[in-house]
Amino acid sequence: MSTRKLYIETYGCQMNVLDSEVVAAILQQQNYQLTGELHEADLVLVNTCSIRDNAEQRVRSRLQHFKGLKQGTRPVTVGVIGCMAERLKEKLLEEEKVVDLVVGPDAYRELPLLLQEVGSGQKGVNTLLSLEETYGDINPVRMDRNHVTSFVAIMRGCNNFCSYCVVPGTRGRERSRDPETIIRETTELFQRGYREVTLLGQNVNSYRWKNGGNELQFEKLLERVAVIDPDLRVRFATSHPKDMSDDLLKVMAAHPNLCRSVHLPVQSGSTEVLQRMKRRYTREHYMDRISAIRKYLPEASISTDIITGFCGETEAEHQQTLSLMKWVGYDFSYMFKYSERPGTFAAERYEDDVPDEIKTHRLNEVIDLQMRLSLESKERDVGRTFQVLVEGTSKKSDDHLYGRTSQNKVVVFPKRDIKRGDYINISVTDCTSATLIGEVI
């Protein structure tokens, strides 16, 4: 077969990034070669996100842009894969006339067959969800640029069914990957020069692998990954507060290469809002888990996700979110205003009754507070020394490099003769709300 060129655009979460690498690996076996140049492509795939409406609108805009490819002298196939494909299915073929291929997150193995169907003049569609697919036997084609940090998927799907979230419908039910394949993939990454991996799952700390009468839970898997090599940093995302156990925190405390950063989405500081969101914990339980993190990992940074303006949110409930933010002192947050998603429990049962201008105002208050908290967090680090893993050249200066601390804070420092992938000690001399600035010791 002659070599063909594959161009992939990826939107959304880290899991989508890893899925694109899995797709590239599957198509590589069909003689497709990755390209970063759109005009070279024989096959254009858009890996999509449905978590918010604006993510889908960005994809629709890109699809319109791709119409020009169809008018060229070479035949070009355009496909939509991922969560948006799963949510809209065949509707994408009708709504976006440029689309030839629609493939859901559990059907990537079928891409070669579907491309044959497209080649014969048909449309290729497979959006069947699976109770078993983990792609655990596929070695992803690493598309990262630094070759220092990478992702390893340990599970797929979600069983939480938060009332605002489309993930259970677009990615299916929760299933965990064979731990031996996880250890093998992670070990191979380290042997290839990677020095940090992030274990991924929609709800990563609910990982459970059952083999006969034996069960391996997340903390034991994390321990196995940690002992691959002390020079391998390990992170994980995303955690659910209901599964953030003391046992997990004790394992993290026992292994210095398990990074001192915890991402623990709260979404709201109000127990009543959390109940409407079907988050399965209260404000008090969340605060208890934060206290446990502070107890076992006093050096850890804590980040979160926050949604403002969820259905029925009152000003008093919004103020509870702000007060919780101050109490925790988050180092970083992902902050959004509520976006109703079709097919979710909230869309079917609740009225989206918070006016957009109020959602925006509350979001701005959350952002302003987080900016202050982030700056305070960075200011506390000035004068301290941290071990930093060097990831690459600073975006603002070719004379500077950047890396991250175990706490996941970005540090910028003079280049000298330091190489990407090195561990170095940095004395922090200054900061902004987003970045630490330092000198090599």
Name, in order, each residue with C-beta under 8 angstroms of 86's C-beta and a sequence gap of 6 or more.
50, 104, 105, 127, 129, 169, 170, 171
Q: So what's the pLDDT on residue 181?
A: 97
Fold designation for 385-440: OB fold (Dihydrolipoamide Acetyltransferase, E2P) (2.40.50)
Rounded CA-CA distance 183/204 in Å is 16
CATH superfamily of 4-126: Methylthiotransferase, N-terminal domain (3.40.50.12160)
Name, in order, each residue with C-beta under 8 angstroms of 159's C-beta and a sequence gap of 6 or more.
168, 173, 174, 203, 206
Is there a contact between 198 and 151 (Cβ–Cβ < 8 Å)?
Answer: yes
* Burial tier of 183 (Cβ tally within 10 Å: 0-12, 13-18, 19+): middle
Q: Given 3.30.750.200, 3.30.300.30, 3.40.50.10470, 3.40.50.80, which CATH number is that of 292-380?
A: 3.30.750.200
233 C-beta neighbours (distance < 10 Å), count: 22
Listing DSSP states for 16-49 in one string gives: HHHHHHHHHHHHHTTTEEE-S-GGG-SEEEEEE-
Tokens of 3: 């070599």
- Whether 292-380 and 385-440 share one fold: the answer is no
> Which residue ranges make up each domain of the chain?
4-126, 144-259, 292-380, 385-440
Name, in order, each residue with C-beta under 8 angstroms of 380's C-beta and a sequence gap of 6 or more.
none
User: What is the pTM assigned to this prediction?
Assistant: 0.94
Top-level class of domain 144-259: alpha beta
Q: One digit per residue, pLDDT tens: the chain, 441 residues?
A: 579 999 999 999 999 999 999 999 999 999 999 999 999 999 999 999 998 888 899 999 999 989 888 877 788 999 999 999 999 999 999 988 899 999 999 999 999 999 999 999 999 999 999 999 999 999 999 998 889 999 999 999 999 999 999 999 999 999 999 999 999 999 999 999 999 999 999 999 999 999 888 899 999 999 999 999 999 999 999 999 999 999 999 999 999 999 999 999 999 999 999 999 999 999 999 999 999 999 999 999 999 999 999 999 999 999 999 999 999 999 999 999 999 999 999 999 999 999 999 999 999 999 999 999 999 999 999 999 999 999 999 999 999 999 999 999 999 999 999 999 999 999 999 999 999 999 999
Rounded CA-CA distance 224/181 in Å is 12
Is there a contact between 265 and 221 (Cβ–Cβ < 8 Å)?
Answer: no
- Determine the straight-line distance between the first and last CA of the chain, rounded to whole angstroms: 54
Tokens of 352: 């989206």
